[in-house]
Amino acid sequence: MFTINDVPIEDTFAEAFPITGTRLIVTAETPEWACTAGQVSTGYAASVIGCDVEAGIERELPPDETPDGRPGVSLLFFAFSRDALQKALINRVAQCILTCPTTACYSGLVGDPGKSIKIGGSLRYFGDGWQISKRLDGVRYWRIPTMDGEFLCQDVFGTVKGVAGGNFLVLGSTQTIALQATTEAVAAIRGVRNVIMPFPGGIVRSGSKVGSQYKALKASTNDAYCPTLRGQVASKLPNGVNAVYEIVIDGLDLASVATAMKIGVRAACRPGILGITAGNYGGTLGPYHLHLHEKPST
């Protein structure tokens, strides 16, 4: 049995799938306002099962790493298609970033022009004819007048084909121990570029399986990992496990997701953790298989 710090690591894989992703750089006069814009614009974005996108704050940015020399945040958004991503971002930027004091919004990716999405170009109409187009170094921006000055937004944003669904499950002897270990794993993963953990605080309590006894549901509770159902279902929980938490990882590329999983798993292996495993559907969900025992393969 392969172990890390005496914690057994199951010989299995996380099954991930392709998804369209983009990066937004949001700046503001203060780090606090940049973070506020980032938090609200990435809200309600845990899973594309029930949300329009999966999203999260990738990291905070110092002024020397932003286009306008102000403090900012880097945000990652993922959807099943460019059309779906564009629709969601137009709504989110309009309602959560344009409305936030002092903000500006820039593309954080240089992608194929044929695979870009139009954001500023769609929001310009809010200017009611007073909006101004400006081109700098071949890039078009829109200046939209607002009551505190103006909102500057890049016209188009690059996209890439990213990876969604990297994951691992932390099996703990108690809820407190499992949550503490998973929290440590989240903190470690936050140091990895190009990835986000879209669920609240990066942690999932409600791991799911495909399907349900109710026809209207695409997914339902992962009963095999619910401690309260042990003895009533085909449980996959080792003896002594009384709480399970999952970390789901989305990224702009496969290598970054694999790195995040490796770092997170190692950080979660603490006293009181009785096992680490991963969620998959036998290889039927997606082409990316991130093995806990070896390097990922496609």
CATH code of the domain in which 101 resides: 3.30.70.520
Each residue's pLDDT, cut to its tens digit, for the chain (298 residues) gives 899 999 999 999 999 999 999 999 999 999 999 999 999 999 999 999 899 999 999 999 999 999 999 999 999 999 999 999 999 999 999 999 999 999 999 999 987 778 999 999 999 999 999 999 999 999 999 999 999 999 999 999 999 999 999 999 999 999 999 999 999 999 999 999 999 999 999 999 999 998 999 999 989 999 999 999 999 999 999 999 999 999 999 999 999 999 999 999 999 999 999 999 999 888 888 999 999 997 544 4
102 and 50 inside one domain: yes
Q: Is residue 298 part of a domain?
A: no
Q: Is residue 255 part of a domain?
A: yes
* Token pair in block for residue 94: 């309009």
Tell me which of 160, 195, 210 is where a domain ends: 160
Q: Which domain holds residue 114?
A: 19-160
Tell me which of 141, 160, 179 is where a domain ends: 160
Tell me which of 160, 176, 210 is where a domain ends: 160
83 and 214 inside one domain: no
Q: How many domains does the chain have?
A: 2
242 and 271 inside one domain: yes
- CB 146, CB 67: distance < 8 Å: no
Q: Is residue 182 part of a domain?
A: yes
Q: How far apart are CA 150 and CA 40, in angstroms?
A: 20
H or E element that contains 120: helix 120-123
141 and 46 inside one domain: yes
SS (H, E, C) the chain: CCEECCEEECCCEEEEEEEEEEEEEEECCCHHHHHHHHHHHCCCCCCCCCCCCEEEEEEEECHHHCCCCCCEEEEEEEECCHHHHHHHHHHHHHHHHCCCCCCEEEECCCCCHHHCEECHHHHHHHHCCCCEEEEECCEEEEEEEECCEEEEEECEECCEEEEEEEEEEEEECCHHHHHHHHHHHHHHHCCCCCEECCCHHHCECCCEEECCCCCCCCEEECHHHCHHHECCECCCCCCCCCEEEEEEEEECCHHHHHHHHHHHHHHHCCCCEEEEECCCCCCCCCCEEEECCCCCEC
* Closest to 108 measured CA to CA, from 144, 162, 146: 162
> What is the pTM for the complete model shown?
0.95
Q: For the chain, state the CA radius of gyration.
A: 21
